[in-house]
Structure 1
Amino acid sequence: MQQKILNQRYELERKIGEGGMARVYLGRDLRLNRRVAVKVLHTQYTSDPQFLARFNHEAQAAAALRHPAIIDIYDVGQDGDIPYIVMEFVEGQDLKALIRLGGPLPLERAVQIAEQVADGLDAAHRAGLVHRDIKPQNIIIGENERVKITDFGIAKSALSTSATETGVVFGTADYLSPEQARGLPATHASDIYSLGISLYEMLTGKLPFTGDSAVAVAMQHVATTATPPSQLNPRIPPQLEAIVLSAIEKDAARRPASARAFAQQLRAYRQIGDQGTVVRPVPPRPVPIPASDATVIAPQP
């Protein structure tokens, strides 16, 4: 990218990431003199006015979220034909890289990470937003093990066509909920499932489903029972295994009733560890999600 300063305010210093939808740059807000991350859309997405309108709407909705576990969005704008989002810059490592480097995480660490993500999802769901693309690549582990969820609001806008209309599963299928794989709308239960798959991977170092194509993996989410994680990592106690398997139930109604309920289960496990039986909190009523929510997963980032 030749342009180095967007709207005479955001200086782009160097590229720090790239995915199917956008490039991410380390930048500086010249007005406030602070480091930021700037996500710039690829050119193929900039010629569709309807897409850009949805993109801006969702980014603005996500910008209203304020939670310690969610990346702050500072600004949404366009400089000429360059749409961009300005976000909080966090020093850290994405969870996927952490798993690749170290294999299974210590049980306590994995549970703490999942608990923080569930807390962030609870805040988003209560605000009427569904992430739709929860996966370790979208979870940053920063200083003092603080977790930050990235790409809120991006997944819905990333593709205007649903899986049912194209017959194609977009984005990363490894963490796709069964209902999304069937082309149904994503709900808060879909985010819980994706977080459950991420926790499974943290605890075992492996994904429950693999295949030669995204569609093959997606169909396993629909029809194949996951290997109990304790068979891959014998250190996982029955209480923790039950929490993981509950989160990745095929039937959304059998998963924790909300992200808050899932976080409470994880907290209860941490408080008593392997001793006794995990106390199941009384689940709050599910958070209603607007029926207009999109059904597809966005490429990362």
Structure 2
Amino acid sequence: MVQRILDQRYELEELIGGGGMADVYKARDCLLNRPVAVKILHEEFKQDKEFVDKFQREAQAAARLSHPNIVNIYDVGVADGDHYIVMEYVPGRTLKDRIRQEGHLSVSESLRVAREIAEALAHAHANNLVHCDIKPHNILMMADGHAKVADFGIARAVTESTMTYSGNVIGSVHYFSPEQAKGTMITPKSDVYSLGVVLYEMLTGKLPFTGDNPVSIAVKHLQEEPVPVRQIDPAIPPVVEAIVSKAMSKDPAMRPTSAELVQDISQAERMLMVGSQPMPQMAPMAQDPDATQVLPRVQPTQQPIPPRRAPQDEGYEEDEP
């Protein structure tokens, strides 16, 4: 596949990722002379017309998104029967790679990355697009530390390392919502739940639910509550634990919207910033002499009153009659 040129424009250079459903190549856009990433679906999926139509519609919808925390989609097409998506090439590691290398992220860094993901989701949700597969593997970390959400283009169709029931792709088992586990309707709040799981993992370095097989993990999403993050790390502030707990509510109605989650995280960041810095010293105010004040009791002095001197003592003389 490498060295192949798609549609006489995209020259595939090297395989940089992939899974059971698609492969991702670094490529060069020969027309604009820039690096791009090209995702090509595997052979078995191009024979399913319903799937291909869905893939095309949602890839085109995702291409309309424009946000600094979303990987841009430049093009979608078919070359010799292969369906592909051309995306912005983001060099660097994924959020999953960073968590594996560092163990876990600091509270402030976890909140910042989660806020950027939530801002990306809020933009997508405002444009009626649900990602359906938010996980650290799909979050690309740029050289300057900012996060970009990837795989919007095939979110509803197929993604790498996803789980299927009866042919319906519903998300990655460690990160998907209870409604995805049940196979019921997916909404924007399904993405919020998944982001709650990602924030949990960033803070603790652990997944909230694990098991011997995908079905047992799915059941835990439906029936069990995760170990609170402060039980794993007591240094995590209660306000942050509350954000994780609310985002991971079993009932979608109890979760915030993505836009509300942005506000909640921003407020927590401000609170923690104030809490970590000494309070500024107030400049002394000029004293108002007429202000009401509490004064110490004044004790009267016991000095004798001098006698009044006679007029002559003052240097005057009495008039003669």
Q: Same fold (TM over 0.5)?
A: yes
Change in Cα spacing, 1:237 to 1:138, as seen in structure 2 (3 Å) is same
Contact between 1:106 and 1:203, CA under 8 Å: does it hold in 2?
Answer: yes
The letter for the 1-side match of 2:224 is T
In the aligned structure 1, how far is the partner of 2:82 from the partner of 2:249?
42
Tell me if the contact between 1:169 and 1:218 (Cα under 8 Å) persists in the aligned partners. no
The structure with the largest alpha-carbon Rg is 2
- Secondary structure of the corresponding residue to residue 206 of structure 1: coil
In 2 relative to 1, CA 82–221 (structure 1 residues): closer, same or farther, beyond 3 Å?
A: same
Contact 1:237/1:274 (<8 A) preserved:
no
Mapped partners of 1:202, 1:165: distance in 2? 28
Q: How does 1:1-301 map to 2 (within 5 A)?
A: 1=1, 4-158=4-158, 166=166, 171-256=171-256, 258-273=257-272
CA distance in 2, matches of 1:80, 1:3: 15
Distance 1:146 1:17 in 2: 21
Q: 1:44 and 1:194 mapped to 2: Cα distance?
A: 28
SS across alignment from 1:27: strand
Shift of 1:275: 5.9
1:22-51 deviations in whole A, cap 9, x for unaligned?
100000000000000000111111112222
Query: Runs ≥4 in structure 1, deviation > 6 angstroms?
Result: none
Using CA pairs below 8 Å that are at least 6 residues apart, which structure has the higher relative contact order? 1
Q: Distance in 1 between matches of 2:92 and 2:119?
A: 20
- In structure 2, the partner of 1:290 is none
Partners of 1:196 and 1:247 within 8 A in 2: yes
Contact 2:58 2:154 in 1 (8 A): yes
What secondary structure, in the 3-state scheme, does the structure 2 residue paired with 1:156 have? coil
> Contact (CA 8 Å) 2:73, 2:153: kept in 1 or not?
no
Contact 1:230 1:236 (C-alpha < 8 Å) held by counterparts: yes
Contact 1:193-1:247 at 8 Å conserved across structures = yes
SS in structure 1 at match of 2:134: coil
Tell me the percent identity. Answer: 49
Task: List alignment gaps of at least 5 residues for structure 2.
Answer: 276-321
Give the distance between the partners of 1:73 and 1:274, measured in 2 at CA: 36
**For 1:143, what is the secondary structure of its paired residue?**
coil
Structure 1 stretch displaced more, 42-51 or 222-231 = 42-51
Q: TM-score, normalised by structure 1?
A: 0.86
Q: Cα deviations across residues 224-243 of structure 1 (Å, max 9, x unaligned)? A: 01110011112101111111
Counterpart secondary structure, 1:90: coil
RMSD: 1.8
How far apart, CA to CA, are the structure 1 residues paired with 2:147 and 2:118?
10
Provide the secondary structure at the position in 2 that maps to 1:266.
Answer: helix
Using the size of structure 2 for normalisation, the TM-score is 0.81
1:233–1:116: structure 2 CA closer, same or farther, 3 Å change rule? same
CA distance in 2, matches of 1:210, 1:34: 41
Displacement of 1:2 in angstroms is: 5.7
Q: Provide the residue aligned with 2:312 in structure 1.
A: none
Using the TM superposition, give the Cα deviation of residue 155 of structure 1 relative to its aligned residue in structure 2, in angstroms. 2.3
Unpaired segments ≥5 residues, structure 1: 277-301
